[in-house]
Amino acid sequence: MLHHFFRAVEKPPTYTPILHCNIKLQNCGAEVRGRKMQRTMRSPMIQPMLSSGMGMAPFFKVTVFEQEHFQGKCQEFTTECCNIQDCGFDNIRSVRVESGAWVGYEHHDFQGQQFVLERGEYPHWDAYSGNLSYHVERMMSFRPIYCASHQSSRMMIFERENFMGRSVELCDDYPSLQAMGWCNNEVGSMHVQCGAFVCYQYPGYRGQQYIMECERHSGDYQHWRNWGSHCQTPQIQSIRRIQH
């Protein structure tokens, strides 16, 4: 029997992907230090909201450093960076997030291992790596997570691919899905209705990270291979909301 923190659904529901979440708008200004990025991109959901006068965009700001413990060359960003080497960096070895939620990637063009970066300081690679089973001392690209909304995040997880099998709704943080009543240590597919979540391979928010957002793929992740270019297994054992 499922724990009361879950809302059980015996059959997969019929739904229309929800696209009206509380999207966090981007301040599209250029970097404060250094030269501007040559390639920038705005979420396709951001422009209609700006045009309709739905309010001022919140500020996203992150500072990256070439050396550990906030040493060496540094640069501030308020928008995405698809390749830090275009800015004259060899690698990113420490990060200070001043506002907004971000996701870092092992390789350029947002490929490879993913690392959620919430407000705070990350003096060394293992501060954001989620205790991976192998060292990943490289971060080459990063972007804001526009839709992160800790107070209004909601998703469905399904036992099998294509939203089939047993399912439950999640709207909180779950350090162990199995302890809360989930049937096994794997998830077949997911639908993010609002906000953004980070899913972890192991209990206690450890292992590989997979960032799930309502504004990417319309919130639909039909197969575990949609979770990221680094994903090699459907194993998910802990999930939490991303802090903005």
Q: Which of 162, 70, 165 is nearest to 121 (CA)?
A: 70
The angle formed by the CA atoms of residues 89, 94 and 96, to the nearest 5 degrees, is 110
For residue 12, give both structure tokens. 């997969």
Q: What share of the chain is helix, strand, coil (3-state, %, to 5)?
A: 10, 35, 50
Q: Which domains does the chain have, with CATH numbers?
A: 7-11+149-241 (2.60.20.10), 46-144 (2.60.20.10)
Distance spanning both ends of the chain, measured CA to CA: 33
Q: How far apart are CA 224 and CA 236, in angstroms?
A: 10
In this prediction, residues 126-148 reach a mean pLDDT of 84
Is residue 162 left, alpha or beta, with left meaning phi > 0 and alpha meaning psi from -120 to 50?
A: left
Q: Could you list the beta-strand ranges (E) of the chain.
A: 7-9, 61-67, 71-77, 94-99, 102-107, 111-117, 120-122, 141-144, 154-160, 164-170, 189-194, 196-202, 206-213, 220-221, 238-241
When the pLDDT of each residue in the chain is averaged and rounded to a whole number, the result is 80
Q: Which residues contact 232 (CB under 8 A, 6 or more apart)?
A: none
Lowest mean pLDDT among 27-41, 168-182, 188-202, 206-220: 27-41
Partners of 65 in the β-ladder: 74, 94
Q: How far apart are CA 117 and CA 13, in angstroms?
A: 33
Do 196 and 144 touch, CB atoms closer than 8 A? no
Do 101 and 133 touch, CB atoms closer than 8 A? no
pTM of the entire predicted model = 0.75
User: 85 in helix, strand or coil?
Assistant: helix
Burial (CB < 10 A; 0-12, 13-18, 19+), residue 80, is: buried
pLDDT digits (tens, 9 = 90+) for 144-188: 999 988 888 999 999 999 999 999 999 999 999 999 999 899 999
- Choice between 9 and 98, residue whose per-residue pLDDT is larger: 98
For residue 238, give both structure tokens. 């802990």
- 233 DSSP 8-state letter: -
Radius of gyration from C-alpha coordinates of the chain: 18
pLDDT digits (tens, 9 = 90+) for 59-86: 899 999 999 999 999 999 999 999 999 9
Lowest mean pLDDT among 24-33, 79-88, 120-129, 229-238: 24-33
